[in-house]
């Protein structure tokens, strides 16, 4: 029986960003250097497949530092941690490795700079996300106001409207964030902005790549975990661009009913999703369809980050 034809547009860039790659390498090298187990506070990145592979190598994932023993190395996740966490590790004389993405660390430094300058600080982000918890935890309680929506921006009441600054979570929707920033600027024309966009290059590039394929594809498949902010945003961007977009963990999450009537399917992956998941979906599509594959290059990426000296 002849398989029906389908064109698959493969978004580029997709998958691992430099911060995720660095964080995973830190855990791998810590296990190589210090032996298992190595403890990791929170998921190193938000992807079940990555976490399961590191568990198999000897990583033990815990929610809080007090679940890790004093005599084993502990790694802090790529999302960043409140200042109280490394302080507690030092007090216990633990060996710790900070895998915080350097672009998240940049936001931490900006927030501290604004506070030192006496500004009231707004953080645009999603409540409860580890990155937001980590950024707010750089400063004393109550020093940062969290804004999630345009409505929050309209309701925000600083003590001094002429002395406000904003920072953002790095994995937000570029378009949603622009709307919130516009709402803040309309109310507070003097608001201090980041020197350089806080939404990281990888988030921006992957969203642009989805826009590039979603205009042509009826369906967009996004590989990534449901707790991965940047992966969730990619599916949202796909829908806004006119495609039916679905977030799936791996090939087993693919429902062929989604593809009925589709001639062109876009495929991408969030910044914490390994390339093997993309290959798995392409193989699964190949079982049902005669696939013509086209890679759509949106933006070249050359960013790399150095490893900490302890595991370099």
Q: Just list the catalytic residues.
A: 131
The verdict on whether omega for the bond into residue 150 sits within 30 degrees of 0, i.e. cis, is: no
How many other C-beta atoms lie within 10 A of the C-beta of residue 249? 18
Residues 6+ apart with CB under 8 A from 208: 298, 299
Rounded CA separation 204/213 (Å):
15
Angle at 305 between CA 212 and CA 225, to 5 degrees: 50
Over 63-74, what HEC string results?
Answer: CCHHHCCCCCCE
* Contacts of 105-109 spanning 24+ positions with Cβ under 8 A: 105/80, 106/196, 106/198, 107/135, 107/167, 107/168, 107/169, 107/170, 107/194, 107/198, 108/80, 108/134, 108/135, 108/138
> H/E element holding 53?
helix 48-57
The angle, 0 to 180 degrees and rounded to 10, between the axes of the packed helices 18-34 and 102-116 is 110
Closest CA to 73 of 13, 27, 104: 27
DSSP bridge pairs for 76 = 41, 98
* Residue position matching structure tokens 């030192």: 116
């Amino acid at each position: 029986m002849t398989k029906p034809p389908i064109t698959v547009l493969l978004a580029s860039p997709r998958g691992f960003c430099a911060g995720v790659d660095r964080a995973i390498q830190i855990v791998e090298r810590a296990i190589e250097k210090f032996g298992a187990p190595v403890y990791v506070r929170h998921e190193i990145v938000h992807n079940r497949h990555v976490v399961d592979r590191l568990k198999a190598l000897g990583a033990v994932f815990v929610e809080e530092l007090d679940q890790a023993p004093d005599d084993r190395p502990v790694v802090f996740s790529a999302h960043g941690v409140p200042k109280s966490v490394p302080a507690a590790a030092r007090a216990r004389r633990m060996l710790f490795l900070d895998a915080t993405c350097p672009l998240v660390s940049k936001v931490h430094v900006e927030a501290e700079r604004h506070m030192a300058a006496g500004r009231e600080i707004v953080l645009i982000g999603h409540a409860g996300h580890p990155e937001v918890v980590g950024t707010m935890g750089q400063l004393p309680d109550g020093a940062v106001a969290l804004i999630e929506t345009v409505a929050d921006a309209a309701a925000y009441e600083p003590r001094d409207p002429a002395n406000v600054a904003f920072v953002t979570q790095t994995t937000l929707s570029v378009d949603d964030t622009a709307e919130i920033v516009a709402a803040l600027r309309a109310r507070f024309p003097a608001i201090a902005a980041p020197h350089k966009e806080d939404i990281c290059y990888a988030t921006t590039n992957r969203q642009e790549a989805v826009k590039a394929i979603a205009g042509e594809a009826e369906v967009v498949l996004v590989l990534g975990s449901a707790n991965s902010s940047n992966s969730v945003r990619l599916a949202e961007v796909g829908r806004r661009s006119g495609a039916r977009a679905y977030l799936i963990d791996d090939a087993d999450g693919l429902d062929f009913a989604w593809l009925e009537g589709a001639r062109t399917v876009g495929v991408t992956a969030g910044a914490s999703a390994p390339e093997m998941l993309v290959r798995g979906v392409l193989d699964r599509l190949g079982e049902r369809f005669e696939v013509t594959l086209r890679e759509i290059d949106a933006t070249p990426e050359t960013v790399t980050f150095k490893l900490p000296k302890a595991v370099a």
